[in-house]
């Protein structure tokens, strides 16, 4: 079955394969705050019990914060993961989803480690990151890096 999209047509098979190939985790919540889509790797095929539940029921704290901001005009909202380090930086990214008439349809949530993109950018441009000791935000990430070096990152993933 082909589905008409805003700029093309895809079969349901193509659309499913395309969505499952995106990097990171992807979730779609409708206007009632219900989880309607959860990205799975292409080789998995199960129906998660979380589908149809609200992010309040699922206790996704950042989703409620993002929803409030999106309803008051924000297009995107980002939160860093708590266990980030200087070599792993997961971002919990929320994006407002609207139709062609700009009516709110729902909210997309994507969780992705952005460090590989930063690392790629630095290698391509020949630049380096410089530690800014005066930036108090960096203290937490430096401490997490020290923990990972002592205990092994796998214990915190």
Query: Could you tell me how many residues make up the chain?
Result: 157
* pTM, 2 dp: 0.80
**Phi–psi pair at 143, nearest 5 degrees:** -65, -40
CA distance 135 to 129: 14
pLDDT of residue 149 exceeding 90, the answer is no
In this predicted structure, the answer to whether residue 151 has a pLDDT above a threshold of 60 is no
Q: What H or E segment, with its residue span, contains residue 116?
A: helix 115-125
Check pLDDT > 80 for residue 73: yes
Task: Find the helix or strand (DSSP H, E) in which 4 lies.
Answer: strand 2-5
Residue 118, domain CATH: 3.30.450.20
**Of the listed ranges 40-44, 90-94, 104-108, the one predicted with least confidence:** 40-44
Instruction: Supply 103's token pair.
Output: 């009516």
Contacts of 93 (CB under 8 A, 6+ apart): 76, 77, 78, 109, 110, 111, 112
Structural domain count of the chain: 1
Q: How many C-beta atoms surround the C-beta of residue 85 within 10 A?
A: 21
Position 156 confidence tier, pLDDT thresholds 50, 70, 90: very low
Q: Rounded distance, CA 153 to CA 34, Å?
A: 33
Instruction: State residue 144's pLDDT score.
Output: 64
Residue 137 is part of which domain span?
2-156
């Amino acid at each position: 079955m082909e589905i008409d999209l805003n700029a093309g047509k895809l079969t349901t098979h193509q659309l499913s394969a395309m969505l499952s190939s995106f990097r990171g985790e992807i979730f779609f919540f409708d206007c009632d705050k219900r989880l309607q889509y959860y990205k799975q790797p292409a080789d998995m095929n199960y129906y998660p019990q979380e589908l149809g539940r609200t992010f309040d029921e699922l206790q996704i704290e950042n989703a409620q914060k993002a929803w409030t901001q999106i309803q008051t005009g924000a297009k995107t909202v980002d939160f860093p993961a708590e266990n980030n380090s200087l070599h792993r930086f997961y971002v919990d990214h929320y994006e407002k989803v609207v139709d062609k008439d700009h009516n709110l349809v729902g909210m997309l949530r994507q969780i992705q480690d952005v460090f590989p993109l930063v690392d790629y950018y630095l290698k391509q441009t020949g630049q380096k990151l410089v530690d800014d000791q005066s930036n108090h935000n960096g203290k937490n990430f430096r401490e997490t890096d020290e923990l990972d070096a002592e205990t092994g990152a796998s214990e915190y993933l």
